[in-house]
Amino acid sequence: MTALFWSLVLLGLFTPVIAGNCCDRSRAGYVEFTDLVHYLHDQQANHHYFSFDNSSDNYFVERNVKIEFRRNHYFMDDYYEPMENRTKVCLYKLYRQHDEIEHMTFKDGTRPKQLVFGCHGNEECCELGCCLIRKYTWFIFIYPFVGTILALSCFARKKRDQRDRLLAQIARGTIAEDQIIA
């Protein structure tokens, strides 16, 4: 097995770790669902986006509401307004187990099924935020590693070829063994 083969195996093993790290909470732009819920429970935000019905204990939200939070604009279900050159549309599914939004409904009594928001082209959706795509991770970490392995492989092959030529000359008798040491 050559060093090149093993470098490709290692490259294959490292690839999923780098590419699959989309929801790292420490990334800039990451917004967690509970953060948005805490913001919406604030009394000022609550009055701005919802109307409360005492008889049903429900918070009614309009289908075309635009919720602004941490430089993002969130919309309900299938409604979306493109803005600020945000070309990537992200969906965050709302499930029944999201207890925090149990009493949030539309006027017709149905519950929102998803939050829709947009990200710029150089960003990816990470939970409810827009995180920068780590395009250059390959260039910074992987390609220098592969380049080093290739350089070492070439160097080892060159040394092996020199040794083989020298042994062939010795076998033919065109070079004396005492000349090899010098």
In the chain, where are the structural domains located?
Answer: 1-21+135-182, 22-132
How buried is residue 37: exposed, middle or buried, by Cβ count under 10 Å (0-12/13-18/19+)? middle
Q: Burial of 61 by CB count in 10 Å (0-12 exposed, 13-18 middle, 19+ buried)?
A: buried
Q: Which of 175, 172, 73, 171 is nearest to 130 (CA)?
A: 73
Give pLDDT tens digits for 61-96: 888 888 889 888 999 888 888 887 888 888 988 886
The chain-wide mean pLDDT, for the chain, equals 76
pLDDT tens string 30-60: 888 888 888 888 888 888 888 887 777 778 8
Instruction: Please report the pLDDT score of residue 7 as a whole number.
Output: 44
Tell if the pTM clears 0.85, that is, is over it: no
Q: What is the mean pLDDT of residues 16-24?
A: 40
